[in-house]
Structure 1
Amino acid sequence: MLGFVVFVIGVLVVGGLLFLGSSVLLGRGETQPPAELDRSPVELPDDRPVIGDDVRALQISAAFRGYRMTEVDWLLDQFAQILDERDAEIADLRDRLHPPAVDDPKEQAGTPEPGQPDGEEEQRA
């Protein structure tokens, strides 16, 4: 019976030491302090819209208990691709809405200038 008690006490001591060691190495579960609002570790342009290359160029700093770099890099690549697709779609829609001005005089000859009589008015006269 004494051997069983010593065994249980030994298991509890080893378990306690493992718990203490992991708490020291991994922290006690406290949250990270809030980020400073006036300082950012990454820079994005303020004077123009963010494009895909801006996202690809981001360098996020890693901490001891930070993040998996491959997952964040993959996420940033996906975000940059979506930005590029969005910008291309917006440019396409703007071109459809406002086509570029025609500088070809042959195409302008078919439409009369304001105040100029068209072909029907000349025939009536």
Structure 2
Amino acid sequence: MTWLLAVLAVLLLGGVAVVAAGRGGPLAPAGDDDPAPDVPASGPLTADDLRRVRFPLALRGYRMADVDALLDRLAAEREGGPGAG
């Protein structure tokens, strides 16, 4: 019984090594780290720029509602409207 468990452990470790070496199939393409395309590359940001920003979805990212609330607050502050101050 001990030998059987040892053989299974070696096979499992071998399988993990094959996958880790990249031989288990192609890796997913690398993500794009460019800034959001809705943001102007240069110049000051306006309130409308902030309202148009949409972040790409990620497996472990930020909650969309939190990001949207912060962008709305920043846009209001840029306009000098409610929530500014």
TM-score by length of 1: 0.37
TM-score by length of 2: 0.47
> Which is higher, the Rg of structure 1 or of structure 2?
1
Between structures 1 and 2, the one with greater helix share: 1
